[in-house]
Structure 1
Amino acid sequence: MDTTRNYQQDTHISPQLPHAFYCCTFSVEHYNDSQFSLHGVSFPEKLKNAVAKRRAEFLAGRICAKHTLEKAGVRNFPLLSGEDRAPIWPSHITGSITHTRHIAMAVTTSNSDVLGIGIDIERLMDAEQEQKLKSQILHPAESAIFSRLNEHTNHPLTLIFSAKESIFKALYPSVGKFFGFEAAKLVTFTANELEFSITETLSETVPQHTVVKVLYQTTSEFVFTECEFRVYR
């Protein structure tokens, strides 16, 4: 592979949320540090001691973010990370980045009613992984609905894990602190949407029993979830 063409746009995944997005594929094996300058992305000091995989994934996410920001008219913005590792977006932009092995995506919006966006791509866990992680991911009250979800989709735990990752990203700007998987409980689902209830008050903006919806898509390789938290006027 020509390393100058390592990060290529991918059009196989289209988010259901009506926001600007960009998705790319990449190869960790063909990564080198010169690709940061090639794509106009600053190499952050915090990656100085990171392994190539971490550097390649970080760059992929920033490339995707750069393209979505350009769609909003924002160019040459240094997308830094806070102490919590969350991207520091321009003041009028809300966004989210995700990456997994060989694929990355970013979604952004300038809609002021959107308080947070969360997206997540996960490679499918095998049955043994799902069984090992089940108790860490599921809320105790999710057992019954998880069994029903298992009848409608393969790899249901990967799906719930991804959905809760998207929920965390979408709610974090309104919560401002870490919260675990037990804070969201699956209550119902359809062929492309999961509905969760927040089990504890996370902030004034996110009280207990807040309803959060997550859109999802599955393929033979991965799960893609997306969550939007907004105010309705």
Structure 2
Amino acid sequence: MHIAPASPFTPQLPYVYRCMVFSPDIYQDADYAHFNQPLPDKLHRAVTKRKAEYLAGRVCAASALQPLGHTHFVVHSADDRAPIWPEGIRGSITHSKGVAMAVTTDQPDVLGIGIDIEHLMTDKQESELRGQILRDDETDAFTALGQDHEKPLTLVFSAKESIYKALYGVVSAFFGFDAAKLIAHDREHLQFILTTDLHPTLPTGTAITVHYQSTHDMVLTECVHLNTN
């Protein structure tokens, strides 16, 4: 499988990013050895697309760890599928239709970080998924977002994915899309508030900012959870 550096986005957070394009249609299991990555036992029976995405994400992660002094670290997955980073490192991995990205940081004030790339939903997908992604009380903010963006649901979905990744390390439990409510946006940021107590340090009403940007067919969202104490 071909994996090569790419730069469809300009990440906004000041951390180490690596983005690559890959070709899952020509994936082979031998590609894991070629890129010095182990093929996890749980993926042996996975479909080709899943194996290719996992490999591309781990290649990005390995590259993003090198500037932080981890030159041969393999990012395994925990039972909950969360990446296991080196001690003192926070990171996130995302992939979508032949594009993969990873971000890492060793800054001590970062409690968690989340990134998400999504290709734009079709009109049919937006119609079918809206009820699963949006809260009823997000209608006004979502309508306003739709006046500035052709595919607003893709943005909100991606943003809530990034929020989940950024907060999960502290929360250590599943929470759904309804835990975050879109309240406002500008040209580069989406503003959310938490609608439930996720953790003693993340009570209802906590403000969450998500950075976003888009190309003609994709969006990237970024969220960081900082220790403000």
3-state SS in 2 of match to 1:22: strand
Q: Does 1:191 align with 2:168?
A: no
Regions of 4+ moved over 6 Å:
none
Alpha-carbon distance in 2 for matches of 1:205, 1:40: 39
Contact 1:199 1:208 in 2 (8 A): yes
**What is the one-letter code of the residue matched to 1:93?**
I
Using the TM superposition, give the Cα deviation of residue 12 of structure 1 relative to its aligned residue in structure 2, in angstroms. Answer: 2.2
Using the TM superposition, give the Cα deviation of residue 105 of structure 1 relative to its aligned residue in structure 2, in angstroms. Answer: 0.1
Contact 1:115 1:231 in 2 (8 A): yes
**What is the one-letter code of the residue matched to 2:31?**
Q
**What is the one-letter code of the residue matched to 2:61?**
A
Q: Does 1:81 align with 2:77?
A: yes
**1:203-225 CA distances to partner (integer Å, 9 max, x unpaired)?**
11211111110000111111110
Contact 1:99 1:120 in 2 (8 A): yes
3-state SS in 1 of match to 2:197: coil
Name structure 1 gaps, 5 residues minimum. Answer: none
Taking structure 1 as the reference length, what is the TM-score of the superposition? 0.96
Taking structure 2 as the reference length, what is the TM-score of the superposition? 0.98
Alpha-carbon distance in 2 for matches of 1:197, 1:94: 23
Q: Does 1:128 align with 2:151?
A: no
Q: Does 1:214 align with 2:207?
A: no
Q: What is the correspondence of 1:57-96 to structure 2 with a 5 Å cutoff?
A: 57-96=53-92
**What is the one-letter code of the residue matched to 1:84?**
D
Q: What is the correspondence of 1:80-229 to structure 2 with a 5 Å cutoff?
A: 80-229=76-225
Contact 2:8 2:215 in 1 (8 A): no
Number of equivalences: 229
Alpha-carbon distance in 1 for matches of 2:29, 2:44: 10
Contact 1:175 1:205 in 2 (8 A): no
Name structure 2 gaps, 5 residues minimum. Answer: none
3-state SS in 2 of match to 1:214: strand
Contact 2:43 2:51 in 1 (8 A): yes
Alpha-carbon distance in 1 for matches of 2:123, 2:86: 41
Using the TM superposition, give the Cα deviation of residue 126 of structure 1 relative to its aligned residue in structure 2, in angstroms. Answer: 1.0
Match 1:12 to one of 8, 26, 36: 8
